[in-house]
Amino acid sequence: MNLIIDIGNSFVKLAVFQGNELVVKKNIKPDVIVKHIDILRKEYNNIEKAIISSVGKLKEKDLAYLKKNFDLIELNSKTTVPFVNLYETPNTLGLDRIALVSASMKHFPNNNVLIIDAGTCITYDFVTANNDYLGGAISPGISMRYKSLHNLTANLPLLEKEIPENIIGNSTNSSIHSGVINGVLKEIDGNIETYQQKYSDLTIILTGGDANFLSKQLKSSIFANSNFLLEGLNYILQFNSN
């Protein structure tokens, strides 16, 4: 069994895989990571291998614990991955993006794939049917757009995301919802359309915390998978174990 550790901006995602099957996943605070891993080790006593993403955010004593108890991979730009990385600055490529592209290799090998991760940022990552990763784009996520309108202006309120009822906002709140949500949807649909004009046989994956919120509102046919990043990390672990 494999232990997957993905350290995000606010939470740590823990997951246990049996082969390709996701057995359990948890969202926890970073300061209790060892406690929850110990619980998982007791429940699943045959966890031997582990992979960790964003290792720089982990306390030294927690990292030492992981190295002692698991055959550990600390994901970085030099880790062997199942695709050809043609990014001009590979050392700056986010570990989450590396994991997402790896997941596309597992599920859609030899396909043109566009992976859209709608989280804190919205990232676009494109890999060709030759398994060459070319890059993509990064833009502000939904929450970041709401916060920037509030933080960088004098009077605009901070709102929670909400599907706008109309393209024409008839109040400040509805105008903000229309601007943020319709802006994101038009951005995503526009990017997809641009890629499809060049790659007609395009597979589109939508993942991230806002994937379910957005998936039903997008025009394009997509695969929504909220566990895509975890599956990618597991595949990197498998790929380096063979």
Tens digit of each residue's pLDDT (9 = 90 or more) over 131-190: 999 999 999 999 999 999 999 999 999 999 999 999 999 999 999 999 999 999 999 999
* pLDDT beyond 90 at 202: yes
* pLDDT beyond 80 at 201: yes
Q: Where are the alpha helices (DSSP H) in the chain?
A: 33-43, 60-69, 95-107, 142-151, 172-177, 183-198, 211-215, 228-239
pLDDT on residue 121: 93
pLDDT on residue 134: 98
List CB contacts of 17: < 8 A, sequence separation 6 or more.
1, 2, 4, 23, 230, 234
Q: How much of the chain exceeds pLDDT 70, in percent? A: 99
Average pLDDT over residues 114-123: 95
The token pair that represents 14 in the structure block: 């823990």
In whole angstroms, what is the distance from residue 234 CA to residue 20 CA? 8
| CATH level 2 (architecture), domain 2-74 | 2-Layer Sandwich (3.30)
Q: Is 96 a catalytic residue?
A: yes
Q: What are phi and psi of 127, to 5 degrees?
A: -125, 135
The answer to the question of whether 11 is labelled as a binding residue is yes
Which pLDDT band holds residue 35 (cuts at 50, 70, 90)?
A: very high
In whole angstroms, what is the distance from residue 155 CA to residue 127 CA? 43
Q: What are phi and psi of 116, to 5 degrees?
A: -115, 115
What integer best gives the mean pLDDT of the chain?
94
The answer to the question of whether 201 is labelled as a binding residue is no
The answer to the question of whether 94 is labelled as a binding residue is yes
The answer to the question of whether 12 is labelled as a binding residue is yes
- Ordered DSSP codes for 147-164: HHHHHTSSSPPP------
The answer to the question of whether 9 is labelled as a binding residue is yes
pTM, to two decimals: 0.92
* pLDDT beyond 90 at 122: yes
The strand pair at 71-74 and 49-53 is best described as parallel
The answer to the question of whether 120 is labelled as a binding residue is yes
* pLDDT beyond 70 at 56: no
CATH of domain 84-227: 3.30.420.40
Same fold, 2-74 and 84-227: yes
pLDDT on residue 84: 96
The answer to the question of whether 95 is labelled as a binding residue is yes
| Alpha-carbon distances, residue 14 vs 10, 47, 53 (angstroms) | 13, 13, 11
Average pLDDT over residues 79-84: 96
Q: Which of 62, 96, 125, 210 is the catalytic position? A: 96
> Where exactly are the structural domains of the chain?
2-74, 84-227
The answer to the question of whether 87 is labelled as a binding residue is yes
The answer to the question of whether 139 is labelled as a binding residue is no
